[in-house]
Amino acid sequence: NATPRRQLEKCPRSLLVCEKSNFLNEKSRHDIHVSKHNFNYKISVLIPECGILPANISSVIHSFSPYYLVRDLPVYQLLEETFLEPLVKKGNFYALSYNTKIDEDNAIALLSSGQLILSLDKDTYEQLGLEGRPSLYNHKKAMRFVVTLDLTDKSLTPGTKRYQRVLSSLKDRLPLRYDFLFTKYNTGSDEDQTLNKLLSQYSYEEHKPAFSQHTLKNMPCPTLYPSDIQGKTLSCDPHHFLEWLGAVNLDISCENAADSFLSTYVCPEPQSSVSQALLCTVTGFISPENVFVLLQELRQYFDEPKFTPWISLTVHGFMDSPVSWGATEHGFLKGGENLYNFVCFKNQDYWLHMATGAQDGCPP
Amino acid sequence: MEEPSKFERYVYKNDSVYHYMKISLVLENGNKYITDAQFKQLITCGLKDLYGEVGASFPFDLLKFDQNELTGILRVYNSGLVKLWSALTLLGSYQNEACAFRVMQVSPFLLALSGNSRELQFGDQLTL
């Protein structure tokens, strides 16, 4: 039993996974890590020694798929036959309940793999009557349950007994309805038609992800060598690097005196000064495919000689998503962070940092 | 140009030395003119009131302060998180005016504070 003082000093658990590899390496898993992180809220690109966003990168960002906010959608709709075949089973379609807090409310997610995840409070779970399991992050009593339905599985083909039972639970027994965020990659006319037909039955808005950019001037910048991801000799260490990235994104000054009253934060060592850096962000409901296309484009930044030896791409997940990577359960204890960051180097080496909080499985 | 490197993977558990908090000060009678130093001092006083001089004698940084919104980003050593958070929660007045701190986000990663999906709002929706 922790003493009272010990209890005052405890903190929720956090995980940081750091991987180093090369994009050209056959076994590199960068594509899998990106594709499995289904729900992305914000991406942030930092290019040191750059003042204007390169045209090819700008073009990719402005071609990101739109997303939709659909109001008051009944969950059973995601299982409807006309929706399943052309949209859900084809993949590249993502849905996440909007404005539902994973630590308080029910939350629903549809992954591009065709898995429908229902994260439910105890009452909803019992009333709905579908088979699930207790959340991995229950405290002492089981207050939250997770139902996972693989909509691509044979047993859930429309017409089967199981399919009927599930459909009737969601349609008649306990008709759950939420606002949803939708997005899909791959515009095929079939899929578009199906999606438009569905959307036309409900109140919805189409949105383009919001884009912004800033050119930062005269700032200290950590020195990073691809061979030293742990920051033991040549680079600064991962935690300090990510902290600095946070400072840049949040417009936090890195030039404080050690005895300053307000803040003692400084750029980590080793560092050098850059005359300018470009920071651009995109916010919304962004598909992993879009992130991957951007990553591919960022890799090509070094096709021509550049002053900077590295550039960075940060991807933030949704705090209230019921999953982080793949179907790994995600929760919100004191926070719901599930983010990853690529550092791309000139020689196609990369670092991948994946960070999660207390209620998360270890990133893959 | 460096040789392409081999695969490496490291898992750090609870390795972040600090926690970061995004907070906002709400004053009963609307916003006052408060400097960054006064903002920090207010929190320090709250800590001392609750934990005494010794208990409150751990450092924290006010990394950023927005004078218009009265929001700030704090950095604190892990061992001070609970005390700081509780002091913020219990702080009730500033210069004889009722006030309250709202803790908007907490994370062991400062980077996470720049991407809070709970801020995704549309039109006339009242979220958060």
SS (H, E, C) A294-326: HHHHHHHHHHCCCCCCEEEEEEEECCCCCECCC
pTM: 0.94
CATH numbers and ranges of domains, chain B: 18-108 (3.30.70.3250)
CB nearest A339 (choices: B80, B82, B112): B112
Contact A262 B36 (CB under 8 A): yes
B91-104: average pLDDT? 92
Instruction: Give how far A10 is from chain B: nearest CA, Å.
Output: 7
Task: Give the torsion through C-alpha atoms of B30, B36, B40, B42, to 10 deg.
Answer: -30
Whole-number Å distance between alpha carbons of A250 and B124: 26
CA-CA distance, A344 to A156, in Å (whole number)? 42
* pLDDT beyond 60 at B128: no
Q: What pLDDT score was predicted for residue A38?
A: 96
Bridge partners (DSSP) listed for residue B61: B75
Q: Tens place of pLDDT for every residue, chain A, 364 residues?
A: 556 766 667 778 889 999 999 999 999 999 999 999 999 999 999 999 999 999 999 999 999 999 999 999 999 999 998 888 778 888 889 999 999 999 999 999 999 999 999 999 999 999 999 999 999 988 888 899 999 999 999 999 999 999 999 999 999 999 999 999 999 997 666 667 888 888 999 999 999 999 999 999 999 999 999 999 999 999 999 999 999 999 999 999 998 888 899 999 999 999 999 999 999 999 999 999 999 999 999 999 999 999 999 999 999 999 999 999 999 999 888 888 999 999 999 999 999 999 998 888 888 8
| Dist CA B78 CA A11 (whole Å) | 6
Longest dimension (CA), chain B: 65
Contacts of A28 in chain B (CB under 8 A): 7
Same domain, A47 and A89: no
CB-based burial of residue A181 (10 Å sphere; 0-12 exposed, 13-18 middle, 19+ buried)? Answer: buried
CB proximity A52 to B under 8 Å: no
Q: Do residue A248 and residue A342 come from a single domain?
A: yes
Mean pLDDT of chain B: 90
**Chain A touched by B64 (CB under 8 Å):** yes
Q: Please indicate if any CB of chain A lies within 8 Å of the CB of B20.
A: yes
Contact with chain A for residue B68, Cβ under 8 A: no
Residue of B nearest to A241 (CA): B111
Adjacency order of strands within the sheet including A204-207? A133-134, A144-150, A115-121, A107-110, A93-97, A177-184, A67-74, A204-207
The pLDDT score that the predictor gives to residue A46 is 98
A21 and A85 both lie in a single domain: no
Q: Which residues of A touch B107 (CB under 8 A)?
A: 334-335, 337, 357
Q: Residue A170 CB: number of other CB atoms within 10 A?
A: 23
**Element counts in chain B: helices (H) and strands (E):** 2, 6
A361 found inside a domain: no
- Same domain (yes/no): A350, A226: yes
CB B25 within 8 A of CB B39: yes
pLDDT score of A357? 85
Q: Is residue A192 part of a domain?
A: yes
**Cross-chain residue pair B114–A316, CB shorter than 8 Å:** yes
Indicate whether A91 and A136 sit together in one domain.
yes
Q: Which tokens hold the place of B84?
A: 């700081």
**Is A132 among the domain residues?**
yes
- Residue B74 CA to residue A265 CA, distance in Å, equals 11
| Burial track B28-54 (b if 16+ CB lie within 10 A, e otherwise) | eeeeeebebeebbebbbebbeebbeee
Distances (CA, A) of A257 to A219, A220, A247, B20: 16, 14, 16, 20
Please report the pLDDT score of residue A88 as a whole number. Answer: 82
- The pLDDT score that the predictor gives to residue B125 is 46
**Are A247 and B75 in contact, with CB atoms under 8 Å apart?**
no
Q: Residues with Cβ < 8 Å from B97, sequence gap 6 or more?
A: B27, B28, B29, B32
- Residue of B114, B116, B125, B128 to mutate, testing the A interface (most A Cβ within 10 Å of its Cβ): B114
Residues of chain B with Cβ-Cβ distance to A316 below 8 Å are: 112, 114-115, 117
B88-127 residues touching A, CB cutoff 8 A: 105-118, 120, 122-123, 125, 127
Among residues A159, A185, A207, the one where a domain terminates is A207
Q: Which among B62, B113, B117 has the least Cβ separation from residue A250?
A: B113
Pick from A188, A9, A225: which is nearest to A85 by CA?
A188
Inter-chain residue contact B9 with A10, CB threshold 8 Å: no
Whether residue A189 is found in the same domain as residue A263 = no
Average pLDDT over residues B57-82: 95
Put simply, the answer to whether A262 touches B40 (Cβ < 8 Å) is yes
Domain residues for A327? 4-64+210-356
User: Cβ contact (<8 Å) for A348 and B4?
Assistant: yes
Sequence-distant (6+) residues with CB within 8 A of A87 are: A93, A184, A191, A194, A195
**Could you tell me if B54 lies within 8 Å of chain A, comparing CB atoms?**
no
Cβ neighbour number for residue A87 with a 10 Å cutoff: 26
A-chain residues within 8 Å CB-CB of B64?
A: 250-253
Long-range (24+ apart) CB contacts under 8 A made by A229-234 are A229/A18, A229/A20, A229/A351, A229/B8, A229/B10, A230/A18, A230/B10, A234/A270
Q: How many domains does chain A have?
A: 2
Is residue A171 located within the same domain as residue A147?
A: yes
Measured distance CA(B76)–CA(B61) in Å, rounded: 7
Give one DSSP letter per residue of A345-356, joined into a string. Answer: ETTSEEEEEEEE
Query: A261 lies in a domain?
Result: yes
Chain A residues close to B114, C-beta within 8 Å: 42, 44, 246, 249-250, 314, 316
User: Closest to A346 (Cβ–Cβ): which among B1, B111, B120?
Assistant: B1
Structure tokens at A233: 């000799």
The verdict on A44 touching B (C-beta cutoff 8 Å) is: yes
What does the radius of gyration of chain A's CA atoms come to, in whole angstroms? 22
Domain boundary among A168, A183, A207: A207
Instruction: Tell me the CA end-to-end span of chain B in Å, nearest whole number.
Output: 49
Q: Which of A179, A182, A109, A205 is nearest to A148 (CA)?
A: A109
Amino acid identity at A271: Q
Residues A180 and A202 grouped into a single domain = yes
Pairing type for strands B97-107 and B93-94 reads antiparallel
ipTM computed for the complex: 0.93
CB contact under 8 A, A263 and B75: yes
A214 touches B at CB < 8 Å: no
List phi, psi (to 5°) of A63. -100, 5
A307 within domain boundaries? yes
Q: What is the pLDDT of residue B5?
A: 66
Asked if pLDDT for residue B66 goes beyond 70, the answer is yes
Cα A104 to its chain centre, rounded Å, is 20
> How far B115 CA sits from the closest chain A CA (Å)?
6
Which of A207, A236, A256 is at the close of a domain?
A207
CB A246 within 8 A of CB A238: no
Establish if A364 belongs to a structural domain.
no
Cα R_g (chain B), whole angstroms: 18
Chain B contact for A80, CB < 8 A?
A: no
Q: Are residues A124 and A253 in the same domain?
A: no
Question: Cβ neighbours of residue A30 under 8 Å, at least 6 residues apart?
Answer: A21, A23, A295, A342, A350, A352
Cβ–Cβ under 8 Å, residues A122 and A143: yes
One domain for residues A99 and A188: yes
Q: What is the rounded CA–CA span in Å between residue A192 and residue A361?
A: 35
Could you give the angle at the alpha carbon of A42 between the alpha carbons of A136 and A299, nearest 5°?
Answer: 110
Q: Mutating which of B109, B121, B122, B127 best tests the A interface, going by the most A Cβ atoms within 10 A?
A: B109
